[in-house]
Chains A and B, each alone.
Chain A
Amino acid sequence: MTLAEVKRGNRVKISNIPDEFIRAQAIRFGISEGEEIECIEKIPAGPVIIKKRFQEIAIGRRLAENITVTN
């Protein structure tokens, strides 16, 4: 499943972030592969907002569609 398909309020585990540059950026924000995160908001057809501990990140929809997650 991709991050874009996660429902609001659900917790998932990040399994793959495709782009090397994005992966480096995400690790700095505290999100790395294997990390458990919560989807706290989905802007219709827009970014997915995720949260880990106190850190919130907005991820563009196209990017979210390329990030795979597991329950």
Chain B
Amino acid sequence: MHSHDPSAKLKNVSVTAPKLVLAGNPNTGKSVFFNAFTGMYVDVSNFPGTTIDISSGKYKDYVVMDTPGVYGVSSFNDEETVARDIIASADIVVNVVDAVHLDRDLFLTQQIIDMGLPMIVALNMMDEAKDQGIEIDVEELSQLLGVPVIPTIAIKKQGLDVVKDRINEARRGNSDPDLQAKLAEFMSKHTSIHNKAEALLIMEGDPNVAARHDILPVGLREQIYSQRRYRINQLLDQVVRDTKDNSPFKMKLSRWMLNPLTGIPILLISLFVIYKLIAVFVAQTVVEFTEGYLFVELYEPFIRGIIGNIIPEASFLGQVLIGEFGVLTMTFTYVLGLLFPLVVGFYFALSLMEDSGYLPRVAALVDRVLTKLGLNGRAIIPLILGFGCVTMATITTRLLGSKREKFIATALLGFTIPCSAQLGVIGGLIAPLGWQMFVLYLVTIFIVFVLIGTVLNKVLPGKSSDLLIDLPPLRLPRLGNVIQKTWIKSFAFIKEAGPLFALGALLISVLQLSGALDSIITAMAPLTTGFLKLPKEATIAFIMGIVRRDFGAAGLSSIAMSPVQTILSLVVITLFVPCIASILVLFKERTWKEAAMIWFGSWILAFGVGGIMALLLL
């Protein structure tokens, strides 16, 4: 009966079985409920046309589907459109609500009730609400909403079974009679719309849903939203009582994180801890084992042996598959041995910051600085990730609010942020030169970073979006959740970027075998020696940087140079074009024109800044 059934778009999801859909705001503990319903057998599939993965499984006769955490259902972004389509097709909705955040969460609850979908509410985090002195009359809340409300503490597994047992008590809740009357009238006029949920979305002005039914969206969003908000506020006045001031320590800590005087030191300490975790533990101990032992010592000889038996390594195909930049050798070692552990490390740190509620506070703290560069506080996420892997970070620029911001962030990443693979080698080269040289490198890159952001912000047309984010209460993150999030994100990265790295390796092998790589090096050599005043071997290192950023930096270590020359070449290699996989992502994410601008721009920028430094310092 549903004309736009999303289950038909997903792999391994039955179209005929009744659908049980989990819905809720971000970070309400929805995933714990999903796991409780489905157990171990879970399918994760991509929602076509988006970057969003949807988990699905089975509970009794139901197909259970998870949805991205959203504040409401409409089409403001990809998460919402996916959640919208899945929720609108549900037979039963389990709405997970954060008891500490009723103001915010009940908007979605009421919206789903207004859609006329049978629902059951899991009122989660009751323990935290109690700690904060929030008293909720659950009975009254259930009466007013008109659906069962079950208090739960998901992380302690309390109430999960009750929710599962009472699924069949799900029912359509109490909606605003005026709204329902309007909906009935609207549906009698447009008989092609059978689904009340879709009718509501069209009345709320959702352009995509309206287009599906070949009618114009109705501009009633504001009116419906305000009335819904009013209804919830009335309800809350009857149901919630604030008995004491909330946890004084958490409140103080939250203020400290936001106030620059204390917030900046807290941020620096946090970044230092992350640096220690990733640069010292992951980049050295873990990568030494995964890249150095597992891949270079075990895997590569193994695959060379197998393939080499059939295809001689010296042949063209042999070189492409198992040669120096081979798709089966270098790509696997690089992506799985080196990048994967680093990406896991970064996503682990980011998930910790997200689940604890610290990340949005960092975004608020740095907002002021980033607005000068035409970004807002949310851009801190791709910028931090850039130090892990620029390819991964470029993919996450999708979360930014406007095309303008996406371009600026992508440009900053492509031009100035050295990824972790490169940072390790750069650190190794700078360390013996003393702190003055380190400062010279840092200051140069920083100036370029600020200049690019400032100039792009001035030159690009349009307006960047402003910060408007929810600051959730601070809480201790749950390790299980953090690990699950880390895994899902890291896996998604490998799935998306892996093929690009392979394609990149293929391109480089072809360039090398056809002699084009050597021609480029010869052509560039005069530029390196004459303009940058560096030994001509440095050219090879620069070009190798296109293959793998750490190759470029590592190539420099074998060349005899003065300290200033070393710094100059490191600056050039940092600013120079990102690795081939990043370039491919760049062209995939941005328009050809924008991507080409960033790519050619980085040649000019790297040699321009290097040339100025050579002029001033050499």
Name A's B-contacting residues (CB within 8 A): 20-30, 32-33, 40-41, 43-47, 49, 52-63
Pairs of residues from A and B, 8 with the lowest C-beta to C-beta distance, nearest first: A46-B368, A60-B467, A63-B466, A60-B466, A30-B103, A58-B364, A56-B471, A28-B71
Q: Is the beta-carbon distance between B371 and A55 smaller than 8 angstroms?
A: no
Q: Is the beta-carbon distance between A63 and B467 smaller than 8 angstroms?
A: yes
Q: Is the beta-carbon distance between B367 and A25 smaller than 8 angstroms?
A: no
Q: Is the beta-carbon distance between B222 and A29 smaller than 8 angstroms?
A: no
**A-chain residues with CB within 8 Å of residue B470 when the two chains form the complex:** 29, 55-57
Q: For the complex, give the distance between the alpha carbons of A57 and B101 in Å.
A: 12
**A-chain residues with CB within 8 Å of residue B365 when the two chains form the complex:** 43, 46
Q: Is the beta-carbon distance between B229 and A47 smaller than 8 angstroms?
A: no
Residue of A33, A41, A55 touching B101 (CB-CB under 8 A): A55
Interface residues of B in 87-142 (CB under 8 A from A): 100-104, 107-108, 132, 134
Q: Is the beta-carbon distance between B100 and A60 smaller than 8 angstroms?
A: no
User: Would you give 25 A-B contacts (Cβ < 8 Å), ordered by A?
Assistant: A20-B222, A24-B225, A27-B225, A27-B226, A27-B228, A28-B108, A28-B225, A30-B229, A30-B232, A41-B255, A43-B260, A43-B365, A46-B260, A49-B258, A53-B240, A54-B100, A55-B104, A55-B470, A57-B468, A58-B360, A58-B364, A58-B468, A58-B469, A61-B367, A62-B371
Please classify how large the interface on chain B is, using the bins under 10, 10 to 19, 20 to 34, 35 or more: 35 or more
Residue of A23, A28, A45, A47 touching B104 (CB-CB under 8 A): A28
Q: For the complex, give the distance between the alpha carbons of A23 and B226 in Å.
A: 10
**In the assembled complex, B363 has its CB within 8 A of some CB on chain A:** yes
Name B's A-contacting residues (CB within 8 A): 71-72, 74, 76, 100-104, 107-108, 132, 134, 221-222, 225-226, 228-230, 232-233, 236, 240, 242, 246, 254-255, 258-260, 360-361, 363-365, 367-368, 371, 376-377, 466-471, 473
Measured between C-beta atoms, what is the minimum distance from A1 to chain B in Å? 19
* Dominant secondary structure of chain B at its interface with chain A: helix
Residue of A21, A26, A55, A58 touching B467 (CB-CB under 8 A): A58
Q: Is the beta-carbon distance between A30 and B258 smaller than 8 angstroms?
A: no
> A25-B468, A60-B367, A60-B466 provided; 8 other pairs, C-beta below 8 A?
A27-B107, A28-B225, A30-B233, A44-B368, A53-B102, A53-B240, A53-B242, A54-B101
B74, closest chain A residue (CB):
A24
**A-chain residues with CB within 8 Å of residue B221 when the two chains form the complex:** 24
Q: Is the beta-carbon distance between A27 and B255 smaller than 8 angstroms?
A: no
Contacts A25-B76, A29-B71: A60 and B468 contacting too (C-beta < 8 A)? yes
**B-chain residues with CB within 8 Å of residue A21 when the two chains form the complex:** 76
Q: Is the beta-carbon distance between A47 and B367 smaller than 8 angstroms?
A: yes
Q: Is the beta-carbon distance between A28 and B467 smaller than 8 angstroms?
A: no
